[in-house]
């Protein structure tokens, strides 16, 4: 099969003339008229070579190159910058951004052809193209965990639930903390890669490829692969990048058999789009009147998003022993919904887990809270199994 060349240039005449010349040489040509479109075509078409202009209005060729080089899906595709910028500084900048070759306009067609042939010959994709096997992306069982407000232990429950699902099933489990600027998993679990989420959200939705996502997961000894959020308060605005966040959630749904999403608190726009993609949702609350009231409001809003009430479950996280806590039976009555898990106060257990950079389930597996979380995981696994059997 003919090698595929992507031409990215905002000059229509260049696209037409160069494209025609390359087609006559037997190449398959794909065209894009700006940087953003060029990125999209690169991720979609996976060309053998990219012929890239520098001066474009929306995103210049240097930035396009940097983004292509950061993504595992496109990092090895040879890039030939073909531009009217002739200064040595421009050429140096091109190579520093990641270009493999640099050619100035105007040039003789035979010179351009020679550069194209040389780049293809030096790259692995210069060999005859073979049909790539189509890998079916299987949708995983996605558990969204959130609360009406912060400070109720969403991240703690999500991480322990992920660990419990892995302990019970030994299946592939992904834990994603989707709270940029408010992350806690990196610190509590001793993780080192807390900026990957922010970097992805600063890009475009099309840049979130399966390869990119798989490259940023960090494995933890308790068994899950983790995407953690940054602690930098400035990153909190990235949650407003709804299109990119939604694209990330869609990628996450096919990243593992079980996917646990830490959705934080409230109903920002991306969470509203994420919840219908979840197989089930767990709402975390505490046994206090304000928390129960806020959770009832949250439930109503979630059901208005066309989320099936049968897929919504509650986890009562009683973090302190107090006579002011509403008893479990009363909580269920006020919610008009059964509570799937009621966690006993265990400050010491969670402090011990934090000191060991792990989850409570690993720090003390026999503790009553660990057993309560395992019971919740068992019910999740049962529902996943029932869904798989129904699909078969």
Residue 125: is its pLDDT beyond 50?
no
pLDDT tens digits for range 175-184: 999 999 999 9
pLDDT tens digits for range 276-291: 999 999 999 999 999 9
Positive or negative, the Cα torsion across 322, 328, 334, 339?
positive
- Measured distance CA(230)–CA(233) in Å, rounded: 8
What mean pLDDT is predicted for residues 356-381? 96
Residue 135: is its pLDDT beyond 80?
no
Beta bridge partners of 280: 143
- What pLDDT is attached to residue 381? 98
- Domains plus CATH for the chain? 4-126 (3.40.50.2300), 141-391 (3.40.50.300)
**pTM across the whole model:** 0.87
pLDDT band at 58 (very low <50, low <70, confident <90, very high): confident
- What pLDDT is attached to residue 136? 59
Angle between helices 61-70 and 88-97 (to 10 degrees): 20
Return the closest-CA partner of residue 164 out of 98, 224, 101: 224
Rg value, the chain, Cα: 25
- Measured distance CA(94)–CA(111) in Å, rounded: 19
Return the closest-CA partner of residue 163 out of 392, 305, 373: 373
- Measured distance CA(66)–CA(68) in Å, rounded: 6
DSSP 57: S
Beta bridge partners of 28: 4
Cβ neighbors of 308 (< 8 A, separation 6 or more) are: none
% of the chain exceeding 90 in pLDDT: 79
Residue 31: is its pLDDT beyond 50?
yes
Residue 129: is its pLDDT beyond 80?
no
- What pLDDT is attached to residue 124? 62
- Measured distance CA(348)–CA(88) in Å, rounded: 63
- Measured distance CA(55)–CA(95) in Å, rounded: 15
pLDDT band at 322 (very low <50, low <70, confident <90, very high): low
- What pLDDT is attached to residue 319? 74
% of the chain exceeding 70 in pLDDT: 96
Return the closest-CA partner of residue 163 out of 318, 342, 376: 376
Q: Are 228 and 218 in contact (CB under 8 A)?
A: yes
pLDDT band at 64 (very low <50, low <70, confident <90, very high): very high
What mean pLDDT is predicted for residues 24-32? 93
Residue 232: is its pLDDT beyond 80?
yes
What mean pLDDT is predicted for residues 54-63? 89
- Measured distance CA(9)–CA(12) in Å, rounded: 7
Return the closest-CA partner of residue 178 out of 257, 280, 255, 268: 268
Write phi, then psi, for 11 (nearest 5 degrees).
-90, 110
Beta bridge partners of 182: none
DSSP labels, 223-277: S-EEEPPP--GGGGGGGG-HHHHHHHHHHHTTSSSEEEEEEEES--HHHHHHGGG
Q: Are 46 and 53 in contact (CB under 8 A)?
A: no
pLDDT band at 51 (very low <50, low <70, confident <90, very high): very high
Q: Where are the alpha helices (DSSP H) in 316-367?
A: 328-335, 347-355, 360-363
Three-state SS at 342: strand
């Amino acid at each position: 099969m003919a090698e595929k060349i992507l031409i990215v240039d905002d000059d229509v005449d260049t696209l037409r003339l160069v494209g025609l010349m390359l087609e006559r040489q037997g190449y398959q040509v794909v065209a894009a008229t700006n940087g953003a479109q060029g990125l999209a075509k690169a991720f979609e078409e996976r060309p053998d070579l990219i012929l890239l202009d520098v001066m474009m209005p929306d995103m210049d060729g240097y930035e396009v190159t940097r983004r292509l080089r950061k993504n595992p899906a496109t990092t090895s595709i040879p890039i030939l910058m073909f531009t009217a910028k002739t200064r040595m500084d421009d050429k140096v900048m091109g190579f520093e951004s990641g270009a493999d070759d640099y050619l100035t306009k105007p040039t003789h067609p035979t010179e351009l052809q020679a550069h194209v042939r040389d780049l293809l010959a030096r790259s692995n994709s210069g060999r005859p193209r073979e049909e790539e096997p189509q890998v079916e992306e299987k949708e995983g069982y996605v558990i969204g965990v959130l609360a009406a407000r912060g400070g109720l232990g969403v991240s703690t429950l999500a991480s322990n639930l992920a660990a419990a699902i892995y302990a019970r099933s030994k299946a592939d489990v992904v834990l994603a903390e989707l709270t940029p600027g408010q992350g806690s998993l990196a610190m509590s679990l001793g993780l080192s890669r807390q900026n990957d989420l922010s970097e992805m959200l600063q890009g475009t939705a099309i840049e979130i490829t399966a390869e990119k996502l798989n490259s940023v997961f960090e494995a933890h000894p308790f068994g899950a692969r983790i995407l953690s959020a940054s602690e930098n308060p400035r990153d909190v605005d990235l949650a407003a990048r709804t299109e990119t966040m939604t694209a990330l959630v869609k990628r996450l749904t096919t990243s593992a058999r079980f996917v646990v999403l830490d959705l934080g608190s409230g109903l920002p726009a991306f969470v509203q789009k994420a919840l219908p993609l979840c197989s089930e949702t767990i709402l975390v609350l505490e046994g206090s009147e304000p928390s129960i009231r806020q959770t009832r409001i949250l439930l109503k809003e979630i059901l208005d998003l066309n989320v099936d009430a049968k897929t919504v479950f509650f986890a009562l996280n009683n973090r302190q022993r107090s006579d002011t806590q509403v008893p479990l039976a009363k909580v269920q009555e006020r919610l008009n919904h059964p509570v799937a898990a009621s966690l006993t106060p265990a400050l010491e257990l969670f402090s011990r887990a934090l000191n060991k950079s792990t989850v409570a389930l690993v720090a003390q597996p026999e503790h009553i809270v660990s057993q309560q979380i395992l019971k919740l995981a068992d019910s999740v696994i049962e529902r996943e199994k029932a869904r798989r059997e129904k699909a078969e």
